[in-house]
Structure 1
Amino acid sequence: MSGSGRWGDLTARLLSGLVLAAAGLGAVWAGGYYFVTFVSVVTGLIVWELTRMVRPGDATRAVLMGALAGVAGFLAIYFPAGFALPTLLVPAIVGYVWLPQVRRIYVPFVIFILLAAFGMMSVRSEFGFVWMLWLVLVVAGTDIAGYFAGRMIGGPKFWPAISPKKTWSGTVAGWIVAAVVGGAFMAVTGAGPWLLLLSAAASFASQMGDIAESAVKRQSGVKDSSSLIPGHGGLFDRFDGMLGAAILVLVVMHLTGYPPGAV
C-alpha cells in the first residue's frame, strides 16, 4: 500500500523532519543571535500561516502580520523586561484593529505564539543549551511516540471533535517518552525527581498546543496550516507542540526559577 494507508506519509515526514530537526538543533547549539533569529523567522512564518488560515485570500495582510510578528519577537528578547511584554503584544493589537472579523480567534493565538517564542528564547539565553535541548527532546519525543503508538495501537480517540486522529494510546505514549527523557536528564544534570513531573507536564502542554492548532484548522476548514514542509504541512503544524510546551516553561520560569533544583 505504497503512498496510502496509515504509513503513507512516513517517508516524506522522515525526510523533511530530519532537515527541520538539523536546522533547529543547529540553531539551539549556536544560541545567541542565531537562535533568536531562527525563532523569530519561524514565529513570523507561523503568524503568516495563521493569518492565511483565518483570512484566506488576503495575502498582503498575511505577509505584513507575519513580518510584524517576527520583528516583535526578535526585539522583545533584547529589550528590558518592562518593554518586552508590550512589544510582544503589538502584533495582537494591530490584528485586533486590522482584522476585526476574526479577532476572537486571531488575537489570542498571536499572543500565544509570541509568548511561546519569547519562552524559547528565554530558556536558551538564561539556562543554556542543555535545558533547551531537554525541551526540544520532550516535545519531539511526545510527537514521535504519539505518531507511532497511535498508528500501531490505535484505540479510543483523545478528542475526536477537534483532532480526529489523536488517540489515547498516542497521548499516553507521549507522556511516557517525555518522562523517560526527563529521567535521562536527571541522570546527566543531577536534577531532582521533579523533572519527571515537569517533563510529563510539558508533554501534555505540547499536546494541548497541537489540539489548539487543530481547532483553528477545523474552524478555517483547512487540513494543514500551509504546504511549506512536505509530509508535515506548515510550520504551525510542526511547532504547535513546542509552542504549548514553551508557554508552560515560561510560566514555570517565572514562578519557580526554571529549572528548579537543577544546580
Structure 2
Amino acid sequence: MSELLVRTATGVVMAVVALFAAFQGGYALAVLAAAAATAVFYEWTRLAKGWGAAWYIGGFAYALLAALSLLWVRERAEDGRSLLLWIFIIVWATDIGAYVSGRSIGGPKLAPAISPGKTWAGFYGGVAAATLFGGAWVLTTGLYWLVLLLAPLFSVASQGGDLFESWMKRRAGVKDSGRLLPGHGGVFDRLDGLLPVAILTALAVIAGMA
C-alpha cells in the first residue's frame, strides 16, 4: 500500500473517532482527550529529553490544558457540540488548505530554518480555507457571530503550534514525534495545531466571545 493511501486511511479513522467522541461527549470524549493528552506528553518528553525539568512541566501543562479545554468547550459552551466541531474544522481546513496551496503554488519559504517544506502560499491558503469553512459552519449552525472573526486568527495559531513542534523536532534531531500513527508519525505530530486552538477557544468561551 502506498504511503499516501496509508496516510489517508489513518486520517479517515482518526477523523471518524474524533467526530464520534465529539457527538457523544461525556465519557467518550473524556477518554479520547485523556488518551491523546497522555500520548502527546509522552512524545513531548522524548523530544525534550535532557532539556531540563521546565520542559517536562511545560509539556504536561500544555497537554493537560488542551484536553481540559476540549471538555470545557463541549460541556460548558452554549452550543458545545457545534463549537467543538468548529475547532476540528479550523484545524483540519488549515492543514488541508496549507498542504494544497503550498504544493500547488510553492514560492517563498515560511520558516526554512524550522520547517523547510512550509511556504507563505501554504500559510495564506490555510488561513483562507479555515476562514471559509469555519465561517460556513458558523452561519450554518448559528454560533455566536464573533466566532467568524476568530477563524483566521485561530488558523494562524494552529500553524504556530505546527511550527513550534517542528522546532522541537529539529532541536531533538528527529523527523517525527513518534510512530504510533501509520503515515503520520506520532500523536503530537497530528495534534500540534489542535492544542493551541483548543486552549484559545476555551478562553474565548470564558471571555464570552464564543
TM-score, normalising length from structure 1?
Answer: 0.74
Map of 1:61 onto structure 2: none
Pair 1:105 & 2:99 matched: no
Pair 1:117 & 2:111 matched: no
| AA matched with 1:118 | L
Alpha carbons of structure 1 residues 160 and 105: separation in structure 2 relative to 1, 3 Å? farther
Number of aligned positions between the proteins:
208
Instruction: Map Cα deviations across residues 188-245 of structure 1 (whole Å, 9 max, x no partner).
Output: 2334653322011111111111111111111111100001111110000000100021
Greater shift in the superposed pair: 120-129 or 35-44: 120-129
Pair 1:147 & 2:141 matched: no
CA contact (8 A) 1:207 1:244 kept: no
- Alignment root-mean-square deviation, CA: 1.8
Map of 2:160 onto structure 1: 208
Counterparts of 1:215 and 1:31, CA distance in 2: 33
Alpha carbons of structure 1 residues 53 and 134: separation in structure 2 relative to 1, 3 Å? same
Instruction: Map Cα deviations across residues 151-196 of structure 1 (whole Å, 9 max, x no partner).
Output: 1111111111112111111111111111112321232233465332
Map of 1:28 onto structure 2: 22
SS in 1 for 2:107: coil
Deviation at 1:109, TM superposition (A): 2.8
% identical equivalent positions: 41
CA contact (8 A) 2:94 2:155 kept: yes
Pair 1:19 & 2:3 matched: no
Counterparts of 1:163 and 1:211, CA distance in 2: 7
Pair 1:10 & 2:4 matched: yes
Greater shift in the superposed pair: 140-149 or 186-195: 186-195
Greater shift in the superposed pair: 152-161 or 229-238: 152-161
> Which structure's CA Rg is the greater one?
1
Counterparts of 1:157 and 1:106, CA distance in 2: 31
CA contact (8 A) 2:38 2:63 kept: no
SS in 1 for 2:110: strand
Unmatched 5+ stretches in structure 2:
none
Counterparts of 2:162 and 2:187, CA distance in 1: 12
| AA matched with 2:47 | M
Q: Which has the higher contact order (CA 8 A, sep 6+)?
A: 2
2:46 to 47, 52, 56: 52
2:31 to 19, 31, 37: 37
What is the 5 A alignment of 1:176-255?
176-191=128-143, 193-254=145-206
2:111 to 150, 159, 170: 159
TM-score, normalising length from structure 2?
Answer: 0.92
| AA matched with 2:94 | T
SS in 2 for 1:164: strand
SS in 1 for 2:118: strand
Runs of 4+ with >6 A deviation: none
Deviation at 1:141, TM superposition (A): 0.6
Counterparts of 1:50 and 1:192, CA distance in 2: 35
Instruction: Map Cα deviations across residues 91-124 of structure 1 (whole Å, 9 max, x no partner).
Output: xxxxxxxx7x522433323222221111111111
Alpha carbons of structure 1 residues 145 and 157: separation in structure 2 relative to 1, 3 Å? same
Counterparts of 1:124 and 1:192, CA distance in 2: 15
